[in-house]
Structure formats: C-alpha cells, structure tokens
Structure 1
Amino acid sequence: MKLLDTKTKNNVLQSMMNIIEDKRQDIIKANKKDLEAFNRDDQALYDRLVVDDKKVDGMIQAIKEVKEQDDPVGNVISDTTLESGLKIVNKTDPFGTILIIYESRPDVTIEAAVLAFKANNKILLKGGKEAVNSNIILEECWHKALEENGLSKDWIKLMHINRQETQEFLRNPTEKLDLIVPRGGERLIEFVKTHAACAVLISGRGNNFLYISEHANWEKAVKVVVNAKTDKISGCNALDKVLINENLPDFEAKIADLANVMKTHKVEVVTDGKISDILKDKSKIDNEEVWSEEFLALKILISSVKSFDEAVEKINTYSGKHSSVIITEDAEEAAQFMEQIDSAAVYHNASSRFTDGGQMGVGAELAISTDKLHHRGPLGLKQLVTNKYYVYGDGHVRA
C-alpha cells in the first residue's frame, strides 16, 4: 500500500467517528443478535462480546485518541554521515499487511484497525463467529469512511471465512502477510506459529501471579488481590494465582482472612501447598496443569512458598509472562523481584489490571505483547512500525 499523508489518514478517522455516532443504534442492534445467539456458559467471553452505549463511546474515544497522536511513520531514528560522505538515515516504516485473529471483542475491530491504518498498514481482521453481526457492521462503517476520502476498502478488511478456511489461509496465504497477531488460546497460538510464513507476535494470554512477601502490608495485599481478581475477570490482566510466603506474621489467620474476603466477592478458591492444610474446606488442585491455566472466571489459586527464590522460580515456570506482582514494604526485595521476573509488566504494590494501553499512557492498543521481539507490553501506535535505512551516496562503491 502507498504511503498516505497524515491529513488523509486523520480525515478517514474523523469520518469514522462521525459514522459510528450516526450508526450507534444500528451497531448496538447488530450486537444484540450476537448476544442472543451466544451461549452464556462462558461469562468472560460474553462480557467481551457486549456492545452498549458505553462501549460505542469507547470506540469513538479510541479513534479520537489515535487521530490526535503524532504520525509514527517516517520519523528519523538516526542520521549519520560517514567519513566517506555516505549519508545513512534510519526511519520508521510501516509493516505492510497485518493479520489479527481474535475472538468475541467487537471493539478490537475498531482499535486494531485504527492503529494499523494510522501507522499506514493494511489490516486483515479475523474475528470470532460469535461476533459476526457486530463485526460486519463495523467493517461497513470503516469502508464508508475510506470511500468518503477516496481510498480503497482494501486498507481494512474483515475476513469472512470460517475456522478451517482460516487455517488454510495461514498455510497458503493468498496475499502477502508481514505480521500476524493471534489473540487467543494456546492451540491457536501454536497453530499460527507452526504454519505462519511471516513474523508472529504473541498476545492475549494472562495467567498472572501475585506474590505476598513476608514483608508485605496485609491491608495493601488484600486490596490489590481483590481488585486484580474481581475488577474484570475477562481481562488478560486479571489475577489467577497468589503465592504467600510462609514466614508472613500471623500466617494462618491471614490466610483465613483472605479466604473470607474471596468468599464475600464470590470468588472460588482452590489451594495447594501449606494453604491446603489451613483451608481444609477448599478444593485442592488435582494436577500440575492448573498452574499454567488462565481462569477467566471468579476463581483463584492460593498457595504457599517458603522463600522469595521459590516464588520467583514458580512464577517464571508457570506464568503467561504477561503481568506479575509483588506485595512488599522492602524496596530492595521489590527491585530484585522486578528484575528477575520474566513478564511484560512487573508491579510493586499495585494491581495487574493496569497492564492496558490506556492506563499505561500508550492509548488504544492492538494487543498486549508477551513476546520479546519486537516489543513487549501494550502494542500502541508507535509499536506498529518497523524501520528502514535510507542510504544516500554519490557513486560510492565499497572497496
């Protein structure tokens, strides 16, 4: 796709904001069809699917924020002139074509597309079948915004294909792909990594841990656990596992207190380690695989550890490398934890729910990357570009 000037891109985004406002009730009506057809057994997925007035406001706000951000394309990273007179300029450059695979959340159809487009990328959107009506009307809005500004609908396309056809597309793409972002479970991620012929950026899986040190302030610990676990169970930044140091003063009483607090918030508690001996009325985990599971439910695993090192090892072994938290009043211990934990975001005395583009000052996000290349954490506008070297000579040859 050709490079577009900033004004043209921003005009498309302004058109899109106007169109979404005009089509507000039609969007909510289309979403209602998806909600009525959805099996509510999966509450987290259902919560992600809902589009109401507040969600439409959020879509418009996301577009507005991206429109107001600086254009990330063509920015100079470095500018060097060698002794030979050869001038070398490194600039930011679009990826090209991005494919994002996601489920349930129609707002991704807005956020992913607005970010990709402002960064001058073409984007292919493969949403889940549960959001088909919502995604179709949002694609229609995008196409109207593009056409109003004289641009091809090819910039933003919803892939109207089923699961099997998607798998075949990944094996044998009918057009060039430069980056794939799978937002889903382990099976989807592994399939994409196995079959993709281009760069794959992993996102979407949580399984986040929180460690309560023997030096923790218990009041802070309970407050953070409650928020991280119950604020939004469908979020990939929600809490799943709590590790508590056995040397915490009044250990048994505090475990009982935490269990009671979780009961108040209707959170199912499962246990392991010394916690199982204290909370005898709670279920004990029956297999090791639970440690790697992302719950996406009002469910939490509480276990004990004998030391800081054991906590770090457990988190690095089982977590989804998304967000990890330490609760401690010892600043040196917190620093060691944050340095040693292999996660995209590490927290000291704060809820994992802050791992979000808007909360971290990035703005709208394509996803939360748990990869180390090329970026970790919220993928905002600035992260949806690569780089290119511009080399200027005057008949230069290498001797």
Structure 2
Amino acid sequence: MKLLDTEIKNKVLRSMMSILESKKPEIIAANKKDLDLFDKEDRAMYDRLIVDEKKVEGMIGAISEVLQQQDPVGKIKSEQVLENGLKIENKTAPFGTIMIIYESRPDVTIEAAVLAFKANNKILLKGGKEAVHSNIVLEKCWHQALEENGLDDNWIQLLHMNREETQAFLRNPTEKLDLIVPRGGERLIAFVKEHAKCAVLVSGRGNNFLYVDKDADWAQSLEVILNAKTDKISACNALDKILVDVNIDDFSSRIKELKAILSERGVSVLVDNKVAEVLPESSKIKDEDIWYEEFLAMKCVLGAAEDLDGAVQMINKYSGGHSATIMTKNSDVAKEFMDQVDSAAVYHNASTRFTDGGQMGVGAELAISTDKLHHRGPLGLEQLVTNKYYVHGNGQIRV
C-alpha cells in the first residue's frame, strides 16, 4: 500500500471518531441482534460480545489515543557512514498486509484497524460469526471515514468467510499476506498455524500463574489473587493457576483460608495431591492436561510448590507464556523468579490483569503477543512496523 502522509491518516481517525459518535444507536442495535442469537451459557464469550454505550465510548477513546501517538513509520533506528562512503540508515517500515482472526469482541474491529492503519498497513479483519452484525456496521463506519478523506476503502476490509473458506484462504490467499495474528483460544491458534503460509504471531492464550513465596505478605497475596482471578474472567490476563510454597508459615491454614475466600467469590477450585491432603473434600486434578488449560471461567487450580525452582519449572512447563506473578517480600527471590520465568510479562507483588496495552502505557493494542519474534507483550502502534535499510551511495562497488 502507498505510504500516506501522517496528517491524512489522522484526518481519517478524526472522521472515524465523529462517525462512531453519530452511529452509536445503530451500532448498539446491530450488537443486540448478535446478542439475541448467542448462547449465553458461554459467559466469557458473551461478555466479550457486548457493545453498549460505554463500549462505544471506549472505541472512540482508543482511536483518540492512537491519534495522539507519533506516526511509527519512517523513524530512523540507526545510521552510520562506512569507510567506503556508503551512508546506511535503518528505518521503520510498514508490514504491508496484516490479517487478524478473532472471536467475539467487536471492539477489536476498531482497535486492530486503527493501529494497523496508522502504521500504514492494510488490514483484513476476520471476526467470528457471533459478532457479524456488529462488525458489518463497524466496517461501514471505517469505509465512510476513509471515503470522506479520499482514500480507497480496501485499507480496512472485513472478510466474510466460513471456517472452510478461511482455511482455503490461509492456504492459498488471493492476495499477499505479510502477517497473521490469531487472537483467541488454543483451537483458533492451532487452526491458523496449521494452515497459514506466512508469518503467524500468536496472541491471546493466557493460562497465567501466581506463586506465593514463603516470604509473601499473605493479606496482600489474597487481594492480588482475587483481583487477578475474578476481575474479568474473559480476559487473557486472568489468573488460572495458584502455587503456594509449602514452607510458608501455617501452610495448611493458609490453604484453607484461600480456598474459602475463592469459594465465597464463586470460584470453583481444583487441587493437586499435596493440597488435597489439606482439602480432602475438594476436587482433585485427574488429568495433567488441566495444568495446560486456559479456563476463561470462575475456576482455578490450587497447587503446592516445594520451592522457587519448583514453581519456576511448573510455570515454564505449563503456562501459556503470557503473564506470571510472584508474591514475596524478598526482592532477591523476586528478581530470580522474574529472570527465570519465560513469560511475556512477569510481576512482583501485582495482579496479572495489568498485561494490557492501556495499563502498560502502550495505548490501544492489536493483541498480546506470546511469541518471541518479533515482539512479546502488548502489540501497540510501535510494534506494527518492521524495518528497512536505506543505503545511499555515490557509485560504490564491492571488490
């Protein structure tokens, strides 16, 4: 796609903010059609599907954040002049065409598109069928904003494909794809990685762990656990697994207190063999696969760790590589945990719920990447560019 002037891109964003404000009733009405057709038993996905007045205001706010950010394209990352006179600049450049495949959340249709567009990328949006009415209206808003500013509406395209058609498109795309971002559960991610022929940046899988060290502030630990587990169960940064050090003072009473508090908040608890000795009435883990599972529900696993090394090994084996927390008053232990745990975000005495573009100062995000290339963590505006070398010469040849 042609490189656009920053002011043109910002004009499109200003138009989009006005259009969303004026179309608010139409957007909410379209979303109601999706909600009426949805099975409310899947509470996490249903919560992500809802678009109300506050959610539309959040969409407008996300665009406003991106509008105020610097254009990430064309920034000089490094420059040097060689002995032969060649001047070499390494500059940021757009990816080209990004495809994002996501489930349920209509606000991704706004956040993904605004980030990709300002970074001068074309974006193909493949939302789930459960949000089709909402996404169609939001795409129309984007197209109106583009056309008002003299741009082709193919910068932002909503793909209308079923599973089989999507599979065929991934295998043999009708246009060049530079990056695919699957944003959703493990089944979606596996589906994309199996069929895609271009780079795939994995996003969205949580299965986050929290380790309570023997030197933790117990009251603080309880507060952080409850926030991380119950604040928003549909988020990929929600807590699923809790490990308590067996060497903590009054291990048995601590475990009983934690179980009682979680149960009071409506969280069902599965326990490992060691914790089952303290909580014999609780449901025991029957299959190791539970440790790998992201719940997206009022459900967690409560297990025991023999020491820091044991906790780190458990987390690195089973977690999704998203977020992990240690609760401890020992800063040396915290540093070792944070150095050794292989996750996109590691925390000391804080909730995993902060792994979010807005909370981490990145602003609106395309997704939370758990890959190591080319970036881990929130994919904000600055992360939606690649690089390109500009080499200026005066007739130099290599000898």
Residue in 2 aligned with 1:279? 279
Q: Which residue of 1 aligns with 2:243?
A: 243
- Does residue 191 of the first structure (1) align with residue 180 of the second (2)? no
**Number of the residue aligned with 2:389:** 389
1:306 aligned partner, one-letter code: E
- Partner residue of 2:219? 219
Under a length normalisation based on structure 2, what TM-score does the superposition of the two structures give? 0.99
Distance 1:164 1:112 in 2: 24
Displacement of 1:190 = 2.2
Q: Aligned runs of 1:122-137 on 2, under 5 Å?
A: 122-137=122-137
Q: Deviations over 1:303-340 (max 9, x none)?
A: 11111111110000000000000000000000000000
1:69 equivalent to 2:69? Answer yes
Deviation at 1:388, TM superposition (A): 0.2
Query: Is 1:37 matched up with 2:37?
Result: yes
Distance 1:312 1:101 in 2: 32
Q: Following TM superposition, by how much is the alpha carbon of 1:161 offset from its aligned partner in structure 2, in angstroms?
A: 1.0
- What does residue 302 of structure 2 align with? 302
| 2:333 corresponds to | 333
Residue pairs, 1:102-117, within 5 angstroms: 102-117=102-117
Q: Deviations over 1:244-293 (max 9, x none)?
A: 11111011111111111111211111111311111122111110000000
Kindly state the Cα deviation for residue 185 of structure 1 after the two structures are TM-superposed.
2.3
Deviations 1:165-215 (A, max 9, x none): 001000000000000001122232223223222111000000000000111
Instruction: Give the aligned residue type for 1:354.
Output: F
- Segment of structure 1 superposing worse, 192-201 or 151-160: 192-201
In the alignment, residue 250 of structure 1 is paired with which amino acid?
Answer: D
Q: The residue matched to 2:63 in structure 1 has which SS?
A: helix
Say which is worse superposed, 327-336 or 196-205, in terms of deviation: 196-205
Give the secondary-structure state (helix, strand or coil) at the position aligned to 2:36: helix
| Counterpart for residue 167 of structure 2 | 167
Matched AA of 1:127: G
Match of 1:344 in 2: 344
Distance 1:111 1:187 in 2: 23
Q: Distance in 2 between matches of 1:244 and 1:59?
A: 39
Distance in 2 (alpha carbons) for counterparts of 1:259 and 1:76: 53
Greater shift in the superposed pair: 352-361 or 248-257: 248-257
Q: TM-score, normalised by structure 1?
A: 0.99
Structure 1: distance between partners of 2:44 and 2:132: 18
CA distance in 1, matches of 2:269, 2:82: 63
Q: Sequence identity, in percent?
A: 66
Superposition map of 1:373-388 within 5 A: 373-388=373-388
CA RMSD of aligned residues (A): 0.7
Partner of 1:313: 313
Matching residue's letter, 2:305:
V
Instruction: Find out whether 1:253 has 2:246 as its counterpart.
Output: no
Give the corresponding residue for 1:118: 118
Amino acid at match of 1:178: D
Q: Partner residue of 1:59?
A: 59
In the alignment, structure 1 residue 371 sits paired with structure 2 residue 371: yes
Equivalent-residue separation in structure 2 for 1:375 and 1:349 (angstroms): 24
Name the structure 1 match of 2:152.
Answer: 152
Match of 1:18 in 2: 18
Aligned AA (1:308): L
Matching residue's letter, 2:341: I
Runs (5+) with no aligned partner, structure 2: none
- Whole-Å Cα distance in 1 between the matches of residues 335 and 232 of structure 2? 28
Q: What is the match of residue 49 of structure 1?
A: 49
3-state DSSP of counterpart to 1:181: strand
Q: Give the drift of 1:366.
A: 0.1
AA aligned to 1:29 is A
- Find the counterpart in structure 2 of residue 88 from structure 1: 88
Structure 1 window deviating more from structure 2 (187-196 vs 15-24): it is: 187-196
SS in 1 for 2:256: helix
1:2-31 alpha-carbon deviations (Å, 9 max, x no partner):
000000000000000000000001000000
Aligned amino acid, residue 337 of structure 2 = F
What residue in structure 2 maps to residue 205 of structure 1? Answer: 205
Query: How far apart are the structure 1 equivalents of 2:37 and 2:154?
Result: 30
Partner amino acid, structure 1, of 2:109: T
**More moved, 18-27 vs 186-195:** 186-195
Q: Aligned partners of 1:217, 1:58: CA distance in 2, in Å?
A: 35
Deviations 1:133-186 (A, max 9, x none): 000000000000000000001000000111110010000000000000011222
3-state SS, counterpart of residue 273 of structure 2: coil
Partner of 1:101: 101
1:74, distance to aligned residue in structure 2 (A): 0.4
> Segments of 4+ in structure 1 off by > 3 A?
none
